[in-house]
Chain A
């Protein structure tokens, strides 16, 4: 066999697929946008914060107390023993310059404060991408995560979320739905498996 005859694995696989194409027409189905139901009726914008917080709590996350004063006081109140605080929001001056760090440098962070790109009421999820995190690993190496969320940034459903632009624009984007968790041993639920031990969400309009 000459070198010209060598078929790349890519072409071999694609040729196999073409040779084995299943019979029949399989058109793309129409995908309707389903409403999220709340108390028997479709969710309305006034419900978003309440439903988001209910679902966040069911997933192990915590809404920040509503009477919270300024952000620095909130951090001290929620994490009285915290040493290093890393902030990615203009509302709070943190202890380190996250953008200048390597991922490994963030291992000593006790509390990371970030702002969510947006959130989903249906599941209690918030989205974080490189734009919010600066260094993506911050959201996993920190011991605790405090997330600011503008109530105007909540969408109703997971389906709505996937029509947002972030998934086509950001190189990395992750939904966080509560903190890192495992139940791999006897089904006993534990927070702080490999990532953050707690996730708190504070409702704060964007500055």
Chain B
């Protein structure tokens, strides 16, 4: 199997997923194609198993990522395919990187352009707005997700829109846009295949670039059979993709409005740049008479020429493909149509003022940090119970809800791989560690955990009290909160449980077998 020049190329984490029959298309020269998110070698799960679901979310209570990760790991077909596919994307990325001698220089330039832009963001936003308005674009400003949803809803209502087609946008996920629109009477149709699968299955995207990467073909066949009426026994990938295309095309043609996110917003020209592999953003922006682009304010870059740096980095970092199939530049409306841009803050301006964390705003949403992260690869994106998962999620999510996402910064080995692959050089692992300190110092750990930590601290600092407590409860495991015993620092990989509670404590056993002078066990002064 191995290629003479690249001995490691076909080394697999899970060789049992290798198959001889290859479904990948070939180039006219007969070379196996692996562009986009295509795998660089054929992979197949061995058997079917039910899809593990994501974290159980209870309002603002802290997400128990370990619990959801344990269920993902307990589904080996899903876990191994997930692990292997994402590691394959990481390896494809490395091959692209090695082909570009100036790669490190590109990262440095990209990082510095972003830091420059973020530290002059007001000026560049005003420049963007002026340029966009001069192009005939309607520009809206949304302070938060709710405002974004109200603005888009109002635009749609003013145009009497009944159906909106949209391309994938993490910003609209962040705003809870689909859930909001569900009550509006306006139908929202996702047009990216992965995102459509997630919408039909009523799940959030599990990865910012490949939203359904946690699903296997049988899971998709099941969803499509229920929602699109496909043959439940046919899980051929070509069949499933084709049926989705056939089902979605009429919805695209009859849509009243289209919505996309934005990878970049160019201040110089007022353009929105969107990168997709399916061409679905181009359908959303070019078929209906009304086009809307929702963009986070941190997506601004100063000049068109800067795209020559960022576009070179984005898809190579994300998928190990030199370019997305489509890189689309929307600068103004078509004749007789309207183009709207919604600039969304939703916590970004506040993040700008966080000394240790503002550079997380450099993120271009490539997902490279997720693909390389051993915790992410083995626990699945939905286990984080948040819009953003993986390493970038650990440092973005607490800015949205410190309590709910207080446990996430602990889901990391701090191995630094995320920072090493980041195309804009965000010091992700250092920010993860910094968040742990912030959450502890700001006492943002949940009340229950804090109370238990406090009680545990008292008991542990008084040996005699500890021994009494143990005797009363039979076991330290019943005294010490689960949080203390199961340290989130190192529980992410394991299915370990603590050993069964012993029948007697060590001290009782020692006292029974080694009679000694009487001693008041409750006295704090007693020597151990």
Contact = CB atoms under 8 A, between A and B. Distances in A.
Q: Do A and B bind?
A: yes
Contact of A180 (B109, B197, B278): B278
A29 B114 CA distance: 10
Interface stretch (B31-39, B439-447, B468-476, B486-494): B31-39
Contact of B85 (A17, A27, A186, A192): A186
Interface in A6-29: 8-10, 12-14, 16-24, 26-29
Nearest to A162: B308
B194 interface: yes
B113 A28 contact: yes
B353 A196 contact: no
Interface residues of B, number: 112
B126 A194 contact: no
B358 interface: yes
Contact of A20 (B302, B332, B353): B353
Nearest to A19: B353
B112 interface: yes
Interface in B361-410: none
Which residue among A130, A191, A194, A196 has the maximum number of chain B CB atoms within 10 Å of its CB? A194
Interface string A164-201: 00011011111111111111111111111111100000
Contacts of A16: 345, 349-350, 352
Contact of A189 (B38, B121, B142, B248): B38
Contacts of B81: 186
B212 A185 contact: yes
Given A17-B125, A137-B286, A177 B245 contact: no
Given A58-B322, A104-B253, A186-B43, 14 more contacts: A8-B141, A20-B358, A27-B116, A28-B113, A34-B102, A60-B325, A136-B285, A141-B287, A183-B37, A186-B39, A186-B44, A187-B37, A188-B38, A194-B245
* Leading 9 A-B pairs by shortest Cβ distance: A20-B353, A195-B279, A189-B38, A159-B308, A184-B194, A16-B349, A187-B39, A171-B332, A193-B278
Interface of B: 23-25, 27-29, 31, 33-39, 43-45, 81, 85, 88, 101-102, 105-106, 108-109, 112-113, 115-116, 118-122, 125-126, 129, 135, 141-143, 147, 191-194, 197, 210-213, 215-217, 220, 237-238, 240-242, 245, 248-249, 252-254, 266, 268-269, 271, 277-280, 282-283, 285-287, 297, 302, 304-309, 311-312, 321-334, 343, 345, 349-350, 352-353, 355, 358
